[in-house]
Every structure is written in structure tokens, then in C-alpha cells.
């Protein structure tokens, strides 16, 4: 449209006065398409119908992010921050709203430094565009006794992941990734660069789990590093349906959330098989007696143990090939071959084994995908629900992630995931039916924008209480304080709450 062309010209001109030209890619730049696609995980949002950004800014330092915000505000261009591009709905690089004029600020292109400060209180500053794999590798190479508790997939970006929480194989011992943030540098809606002291504790609270995009662009984070033993133990044990998988999964629900926090066993259900994947922060000799006394139904023995360094465990749990070198964690390449749709739930009451016998047949249906069960309890469950925006704490047994995937026609896969989600309703949390913001799902609701060009609190509440429960209103109050005109927004950003007049 005419407006978008006018804005585009003004925005790019403004940027070029403030930052080096090679950091601004317009559709006519030869590398525009390559950079745009570089971290897209879900080809569903990379087709001819997808609205493209009018340009991509690839900041090399915080001042370039500030320039993008100042020019964006002056010229009426919104920004989509992208770190690792793993958003399941593609909100970091596309707009689901027709006609929205936006640019992508791609932190993953150049803002990826990790610097570890050793000593007694081990910590690291990590830039948002670093991948989790880059963070893990740099930390462990600097000191193999240190690690960071964040997600399993190494290509995930630090920026989006820390913004939304971050569930990992060490959450039961050390909490979410967001529970381990000590400081952050953020460019706010006025284009100012603020750290924890300057942003204040309310905004610092909101960015540790309140979801990406809403409050500004986080350039870097100071994170607490955690201690890991030199040897950890991994095991993987599968059970088919005809080997009693339903009963073992049913039993797992009671056991996994109350195991010692050093021991995490998650479950992947796919086809006719439940696979139990485990990380134990300790040796095989210590693990085997715990397993035989607390979870004998799994039949785990020392023959199942694989002992290794924590960094090797991060690679093994991702690639399941012991010969894959740890350097594979540094590979940022993503594949555009698989389309995905994800949804999530939290379970607070164990689902009876008879019900599991009816759930498992869903994984033989046409279009079936997988279900990932991540146990909670331990440290992550002990944090008070209001301490961070992530409310799914005390009383949660586990998180469920449903994933459908396809290449080509997605009709059967989409029908499968919505059918299974409907089927699960009686067995999962309710009022609200909880969901995890990092497993972004636009089916649960999207913001409406009022005539004053601000997202409405009422529309946000529909999806917001599922992600944030009682913390949603506080998030909306923080938004009203720091970005009342709703500059930083997307289809599921926190709307400003102005309160009763």
C-alpha cells in the first residue's frame, strides 16, 4: 500500500542516518531472503502468502537496536524482535495481521557474544541472539563444572527462550532459565537502553517469563550459572504399548515429580511407544539404587547407564548419536522441511492408567505426531506462583507439549492435534486450562486492537490467563507503565491495563 511504501522509505532513511548501511537489509538487498529464512523453523510461515518485513535490521550493538526503535516510532513502523526464530507461530518474523507494516530486528545475525565470569558466583552475560547451544558450549568449555538450565534444542535463541521461561532437563534442580536471570539490558519503548537498576523491579519481573516482544527488546542477559558434576548419567528406555506402556506412563506421573531433583525423566510418546529419557546429575552407581527403589516398573539397570560430561549429555539428548561431537551444538542451521503445530497443557492430577489406554491409540491415527511430558516438582515447583510471570508451579505434576508435523498437506496432522487437545480436556488443568507461553499457540486467543490503536485488555485476558494465570493483570499493569501506546506488540503481546477509571 501507499502508506507502507511511504513508511518504508522514511524508516530506512532514518536508519541509514544512524547506523551502518550494511546492517539494514531491504528486499532489494541480495542477502535479504537468506537472512530472513536463516532461523525460520517452521516453513508454514514462509510462503507467498506470508507478509514480509519491509526491512531487516541486523544490529551489531545496543545502539543499533535503539536506532531501530527511535526510527520505528518516528516513522510508524513496528518491530518484531527475533533471536532464534523458534516461535511456533512465527511471530518473530511475520505478522498474522493483514497490512501491518513492520521490520524485523534480527539479533541472531550479529549479537551472539557469551562472556563467562568465573569465581565463586559464576555468571555469564549472554547476548539475546546467541543460541542455547552456543551458550552451553562456551560455558562448559570455560569450566566443565558449570552449566545453564535451559531447553533441549540447541538452535533455540536465548532472547525468546528466556523471555518465556525455559523448561529444561535441569528445571527440577535449578528452576526455569528465567529463574536464573540476574540482570538484563533492554531497549525500551522510548529507545533508551536500561539495565535492571534503571528499568526497576516491576519491568525486570515482567521480562523474566512474561513472553517476548511486549516490553522492549532485550539485548543481553546476565545469568547465574549452575554447578554440575564432572560425570552425569543419561539413560533412555522405551516401552511399547504391548509391553504395558500405559501402566508405566501412569506410574511415571506419580514418581517423576517427586524424584530427587538431580534426576529428571521425561517421556516422549510417539507411534506405539513411550520413550523415557533421563538426565541424572550424578553417577550410575548412585542412580541405579534410586531407580530400583522409586521406579522399579521401568526396569532400569546399570546396563542402561551412559556416563559422560554435562556438555556431552546436552549433545546426546538432542542428537541421540554418541559419535556426534559436542561442536554440533554450535550448528545454527535449521531445516525448512518439516511443518509443525504445537499446543500445551499442564497436569495437576495424575491421569488414570485406563485413560492412558485410550490416549495411546491416538498415536496410531492418520496424521499423528508426538507428545512430550516434562516433569515438574523440585525447585521449579517450589517457586511461589507470583515470583515470576510463569505461574505453573506448586501442584503441577508435568507439562504436556503436543506436536503435529507434516510435509506437504497438513490437514490430517492439524485435525489430529486439535482432536487430541479436545480429548484431553477433562484430564488436564482447568479454570483456566493452563498453557506455556513458549509453546505459542494462537488457537487459544489473539489480541483485538481498539480504535485508539491499542490492544485491548479484555481480548488479551482470554489467552493471557492461560499462560500467566493470576500474573496476567500485573503484566498488563507493567505494560501500561512502560509502553502505554502499545508500540511493542504482536498477536499475543501483553496489552496495557489502565485500570478502572
Which residues contact ligand FDA (rule: CB under 6 A)? 41, 80-88, 91-92, 107, 128, 151-153, 156-157, 159-161, 163-167, 212-213, 217-218, 438, 490
The whole-angstrom separation of Cα 21 and Cα 391 is 43
The whole-angstrom separation of Cα 167 and Cα 156 is 12
170: cell is 535441569
Cβ closest to ligand FDA, residue 171 vs residue 312: 171
Cβ closest to ligand FDA, residue 251 vs residue 486: 486
What angle in degrees, to the nearest 10, is found between the helix axes of 310-319 and 132-142? 150
Cβ closest to ligand FDA, residue 79 vs residue 305: 79
Cβ closest to ligand FDA, residue 169 vs residue 263: 169
Distance of closest approach, residue 490 Cβ to ligand FDA, in angstroms = 6
Cβ closest to ligand FDA, residue 75 vs residue 491: 491
Distance of closest approach, residue 11 Cβ to ligand FDA, in angstroms = 18
The whole-angstrom separation of Cα 247 and Cα 113 is 46
Cβ closest to ligand FDA, residue 168 vs residue 312: 168
Cβ closest to ligand FDA, residue 55 vs residue 288: 55
Distance of closest approach, residue 397 Cβ to ligand FDA, in angstroms = 17
Distance of closest approach, residue 265 Cβ to ligand FDA, in angstroms = 15
Closest residue to ligand FDA in the complex (CB): 212
Buried b / exposed e across 205-224, counting CB within 10 Å, b at 16+? Answer: bbbbbbbbbbbbbbbbbbbb
Distance of closest approach, residue 354 Cβ to ligand FDA, in angstroms = 30
The whole-angstrom separation of Cα 67 and Cα 14 is 8
Q: What is the DSSP letter of 288?
A: H
Angle at 180 between CA 179 and CA 183, to 5 degrees: 110
The whole-angstrom separation of Cα 130 and Cα 391 is 26
CB atoms within 10 A of CB 384: 9
Distance of closest approach, residue 80 Cβ to ligand FDA, in angstroms = 5
For cell 539490558, name the residue.
Answer: 185
- In this structure, the chain runs to a length of 501
The whole-angstrom separation of Cα 214 and Cα 179 is 19
Distance of closest approach, residue 361 Cβ to ligand FDA, in angstroms = 26
Amino acid at each position: 500500500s501507499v502508506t507502507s511504501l511511504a513508511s518504508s522509505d522514511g524508516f530506512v532513511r532514518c536508519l541509514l542516518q544512524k547506523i551502518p548501511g550494511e546492517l539494514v537489509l531491504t528486499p532489494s538487498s541480495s542477502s535479504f531472503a537468506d537472512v530472513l529464512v536463516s532461523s525460520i523453523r517452521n516453513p508454514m510461515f514462509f510462503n507467498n502468502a506470508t507478509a514480509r518485513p519491509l526491512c531487516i535490521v541486523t544490529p551489531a550493538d545496543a545502539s543499533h537496536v535503539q536506532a531501530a526503535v527511535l526510527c520505528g516510532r518516528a516513522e510508524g513502523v513496528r518491530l518484531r524482535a527475533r533471536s532464534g526464530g523458534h516461535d511456533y507461530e512465527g511471530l518473530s518474523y511475520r505478522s498474522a495481521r493483514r497490512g501491518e507494516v513492520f521490520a524485523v530486528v534480527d539479533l541472531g545475525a550479529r549479537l551472539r557474544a557469551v562472556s563467562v565470569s568465573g569465581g565463586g558466583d559464576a555468571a555469564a552475560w549472554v547476548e539475546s541472539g546467541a543460541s542455547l547451544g552456543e551458550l552451553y558450549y562456551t560455558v562448559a568449555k570455560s569450566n566443565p563444572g558449570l552449566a545453564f538450565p535451559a531447553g533441549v534444542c540447541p538452535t533455540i535463541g536465548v532472547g525468546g527462550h528466556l523471555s518465556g521461561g525455559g523448561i529444561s532437563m535441569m528445571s527440577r534442580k535449578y528452576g526455569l532459565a528465567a529463574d536464573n536471570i540476574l540482570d538484563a539490558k533492554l531497549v525500551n519503548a522510548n529507545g533508551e537502553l536500561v539495565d535492571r537498576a534503571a528499568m526497576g523491579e516491576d519491568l525486570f519481573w515482567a521480562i523474566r517469563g512474561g513472553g517476548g516482544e511486549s516490553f522492549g527488546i532485550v539485548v543481553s542477559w546476565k545469568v547465574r550459572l549452575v554447578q554440575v558434576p564432572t560425570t552425569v548419567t543419561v539413560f533412555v528406555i522405551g516401552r511399547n504399548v504391548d509391553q504395558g506402556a500405559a501402566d508405566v506412563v501412569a506410574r511415571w506421573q506419580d514418581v517423576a515429580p517427586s524424584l530427587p531433583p538431580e534426576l529428571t525423566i521425561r517421556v516422549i510418546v510417539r507411534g506405539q511407544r513411550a520413550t523415557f529419557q533421563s538426565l541424572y546429575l550424578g553417577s550410575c552407581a548412585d542412580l541405579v539404587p534410586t531407580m530400583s527403589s522409586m521406579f522399579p516398573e521401568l526396569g532400569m539397570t546399570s546396563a542402561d547407564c551412559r556416563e559422560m560430561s554435562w556438555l556431552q549429555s546436552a549433545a546426546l539428548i538432542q542428537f541421540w548419536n554418541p559419535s556426534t561431537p559436542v561442536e554440533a551444538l554450535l550448528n545454527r542451521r535449521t531445516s525448512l522441511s518439516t511443518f509443525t503445530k504445537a499446543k500445551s497443557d499442564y497436569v495437576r492430577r495424575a491421569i488414570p492408567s485406563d485413560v492412558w489406554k485410550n490416549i495411546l491409540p491416538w498415536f496410531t491415527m492418520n496424521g499423528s505426531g508426538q507428545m512430550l511430558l516434562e516433569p515438574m516438582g523440585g525447585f521449579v515447583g517450589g517457586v511461589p506462583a507470583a515470583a515470576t510471570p510463569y505461574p505453573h508451579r506448586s501442584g503441577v505434576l508435568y507439562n504436556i507439549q503436543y506436536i503435529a508435523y507434516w510435509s506437504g498437506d497438513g490437514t490430517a496432522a492439524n485435525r489430529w492435534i486439535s482432536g487430541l487437545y479436545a480429548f484431553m480436556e477433562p484430564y488436564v488443568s482447568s479454570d483456566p486450562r493452563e498453557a506455556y507461553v513458549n509453546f505459542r499457540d494462537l488457537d487459544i486467543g489473539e489480541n483485538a486492537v481498539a480504535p485508539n490503536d491499542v490492544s485491548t485488555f479484555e481480548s488479551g485476558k482470554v489467552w493471557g490467563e492461560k499462560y500467566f494465570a493470576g500474573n496476567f493483570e500485573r503484566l498488563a499493569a507493567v505494560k501500561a507503565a512502560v509502553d502505554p501506546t502499545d508500540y511493542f506488540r504482536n498477536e499475543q503481546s501483553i496489552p496495557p491495563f489502565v485500570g478502572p477509571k
